[in-house]
Structure 1
């Protein structure tokens, strides 16, 4: 990788090229105000507009091709919007690799030779990234990406043309954009299967059978949802190793991975559903640790050794972008758990954390849903009821829909809806500053105090300076009629 500051060495390890670039360290946390991606003659240029200088690191990842920028002590400014695909860049994602830092991941159509440097435009610091495609087939890949970008640009231009020539009837977002937006891919994994029956209910119900029925029903309602399509890791009674399940999801370019299971307990009393996401730091409870051990043992039934020299698994565990995916997984799981609460009692009131092998995809937000306790007589009966499974599928779909409404990937129908609504449906994070109160933050973003308490698990109205809050999606304009997402919030 080429670098600007001559005193900085280039380090290459495990086929990952990385260059650390140090600017004047800011006295306080900085923000990325805007990010633009433009295609020029020989390369693609990304411009990050900052409010202050920042220490940053740039490195590349392969299979698939990505460029990652880590900015120390930085965050996204309120109102930030991910740029549309352009040139070699097919998408942009953001996350928080460590507390207080910002990661920007550029999905690429081909491997690139990046160059980064800082410039000042009108007194505003800008981090410039020049991405030059390299290797065989790079030109064709970029041309294909550019062609799809032109199509997306045409889709965005359609409403402007309609405004000049009034239509006979009003058109919906789906009518204007639907045919030109890519579908969100929901990977649905029916737990267990084949020689691995999973847990067994008191009436003889096998977990592998009910998970397949729930997965099929969820796939049906997902396929009926505009802007979504489902893929099943298994659609019959067959054993699939755990690693192969998330490989299938990645191969399908899934936007989310949902593994369906049915819980079990030595006692008949426990009931209700739970949602789990990956944790490398340990389980959130002894029950979560026991459950992860039980589910991970499924590969031993099929004779698969998990701690061997599997290169794909090693790359998954070492992939530096996974921390951002884990944050997205947690966000998605919160929405799904909220959807399940509408169906009835949940076993756990919060998302649980455990080290599930099946959730170790490096770049697909993933969760494991325990739909009920098959060891509970009433839960087992409900799992065998097609009407209940239909309601369960709708509850899961509702949570998935709410997540993508709040965090819409660029180039999708959900992103077009958010754009058409002025970004009103998008969640964001907020760092509490001096003088902030829960009520003032709620008023600023046009949400209720109770919704702020609910999404952040707060029992009272006390907040601390530096505390990070999740601001839920709003349904309309904030108090005063000003869209708070249009710029940095006051104060």
Structure 2
């Protein structure tokens, strides 16, 4: 009898052990707040099945995680944002972890899972959007005004952010996203104080902006220059100095340029972007490398910024490098990507952490921008736009996008991009901006 009882207890213990071994640990919860949404990221020990639904009176979102198991208590979270009022956990069923998001107002959630990468393991992502934002999610005509203003609008893009930390320093574990935001804010102050210039921050906080959205925001504010700020990393810890990159028409100009482009283009996967968010139009725009005239202007802008930086920082590559950077693929705006230094070099990492050095880098970039905008070619091109205003085509019966593009000597994808068009269908009488 005792023997039978012993084996029964042993069997029960084995069953419990196997059950625990099959559980997926929810190791942490992080919250990122962006201007248009709030992101929750659950760090998981393995992939799991989940179900999400919403409830009202009061408003809340419920996530059931099959075989989920909370590892310790949830961290203290900041609920000062517009959507989240609290987070609760419990067990709806024996093998299901239930997470309840208490809401301050109705929201529309989007959920997806992310595979492990160099920075994180398996993740479950919940994005919370305002309901009104979702209802109005449809192609709209861009806000365009006749550009009679005197100020030159310059878009400042601090790379990475939120779930995507960028490169991480070897000695101090400094995150690239914080360094480049500091440099971007210093550059913003310099541009804002300069007569005839106006800055636009693409990211002004610790949140992630999709690569495609970065330039869309710049276009919404009618930016005339686009400057993306980053910090680099290479194995070995000896590389140092700044580099400037522009888009390549034919491919990378060096192995290093290709490595940097591949890493920066992978940012969406790290930051958490669903592949289904990229429609055919956007994919085509991101892959189109035929913007020859803009590339030429970008190379000149990059050369001027390199000239400005050499007074304040060591230069790693003395000529502007080129590669296929997704964030630089704008149809008609000179765009550059600046690697301000090597965070993998301990001595350079220490400098990049310094506010005074960040201000010096910003000053060098600003000096280069001033040098570029003072050139007669840029002034002449800009004056022509101010004098003529944006070209507008009124759609006539029988018009097609390809025919309109041929008339004005532009590409179809550039025409669609300028007008935020998700389809090729035209409505007679509608107005198309000709980029």
Q: TM-score, normalised by structure 2?
A: 0.52
Give the secondary structure class of the aligned counterpart of 1:261.
Answer: strand
On the 8 A contact 2:250/2:289 being kept in 1, the answer is no
2:282 is paired with a residue of what secondary structure?
Answer: helix
Contact 1:316 / 1:362 at 8 angstroms: preserved in 2?
Answer: no
Residue 198 (str. 1) matches residue 166 (str. 2)? yes
Query: Which one of 151, 156, 159 corresponds to residue 188 of structure 1?
Result: 156
Q: Deviations over 1:34-78 (max 9, x none)?
A: xxxxxxxxxxxxxxxxxxxxxxxxxxxxxxxxxxxxxxxxxxxxx
Instruction: Count how many residue pairs are aligned between Structure 1 and Structure 2.
Output: 241
Change (3 A) 1:382 1:356: same
Q: Which runs of 5+ in 2 are unaligned?
A: 1-140, 387-435
The equivalent position to 1:263 in structure 2, one of 232, 236, 239, is: 232
**Structure 1 gaps, min length 5:** 1-136, 153-180, 417-491
1:327-476 equivalence runs, <5 A: 327-406=296-375, 407-409=377-379
Match of 2:257 among 267, 282, 288: 288
* 2:289–2:329 contact (8 Å) kept in structure 1: no
**Residues 379/319 of structure 1: CA separation in 2 closer, same or farther (3 Å cut):** closer
Mapped to 2, the partners of 1:220 and 1:339 lie a distance apart of 17
Q: Per the alignment, do residues 376 and 231 of structure 1 end up closer, same or farther by CA in structure 2, a change over 3 Å counting?
A: same
In the alignment, structure 1 residue 234 sits paired with structure 2 residue 213: no
What is aligned with 1:213? Answer: 182
Alpha carbons 2:249, 2:289 under 8 Å: kept: no
Determine helix, strand or coil for the equivalent of 1:209.
helix
Distance 1:268 1:306 in 2: 37
How large is the RMSD of aligned CA atoms in angstroms? 2.7
- Once residues 316 and 355 of structure 1 are traced to their aligned partners in structure 2, the CA distance between those partners, rounded to angstroms, is 9
Contact 1:299 1:305 in 2 (8 A): no
Contact 1:278 1:367 in 2 (8 A): yes
Deviations 1:272-317 (A, max 9, x none): 0000000131111111111111111111121343995331342465
SS in 1 for 2:208: coil
What is the CA distance between 1:207 and its match in structure 2?
0.3
Matched, 1:246 2:210: no
Q: Deviations over 1:103-144 (max 9, x none)?
A: xxxxxxxxxxxxxxxxxxxxxxxxxxxxxxxxxx9xxx9xx8
The residue number in structure 1 matching 2:90 is: none
Which is higher, the Rg of structure 1 or of structure 2?
2
Residues 1:305 and 2:265 aligned together: no
Q: Secondary structure at the match of 2:275?
A: coil
Q: Distance in 2 between matches of 1:342 and 1:305?
A: 42
Equivalent-residue separation in structure 2 for 1:381 and 1:372 (angstroms)? 11
1:315–1:347 distance in 2 versus 1, CA, 3 Å = closer
Counterparts in 2 of 1:477-488, with a 5 A limit?
none
SS of corresponding position for 1:205: coil
Aligned to 2:133: none
Alignment of 1:5-84 (within 5 A): none
